[in-house]
Amino acid sequence: MVSRIPDYSNALVEQAYTGLYDITPDWHPVLGKTTVEGFYLAAGFSAHGFKLAPAIAELLAEEIVEGTAKSIDIGPFGLDRFEKGTLFRAAYGGNRA
Q: What's the pTM? A: 0.71
pLDDT at 29 over 60: yes
* Domain assignment of residue 54, yes or no: yes
Between CA 59 and CA 71 the distance in angstroms is 7
Q: How many domains does the chain have?
A: 1
pLDDT at 3 over 80: yes
Chain mean pLDDT for the chain? 88
* Domain assignment of residue 4, yes or no: no
Rg of the chain over Cα atoms, rounded to whole angstroms, equals 18
Domain that holds residue 31: 21-95
* Domain assignment of residue 7, yes or no: no
92 pLDDT band (50/70/90 cuts)? Answer: low
* Domain assignment of residue 44, yes or no: yes
Between CA 44 and CA 88 the distance in angstroms is 13
Residues 51-55: what's their mean pLDDT?
A: 93
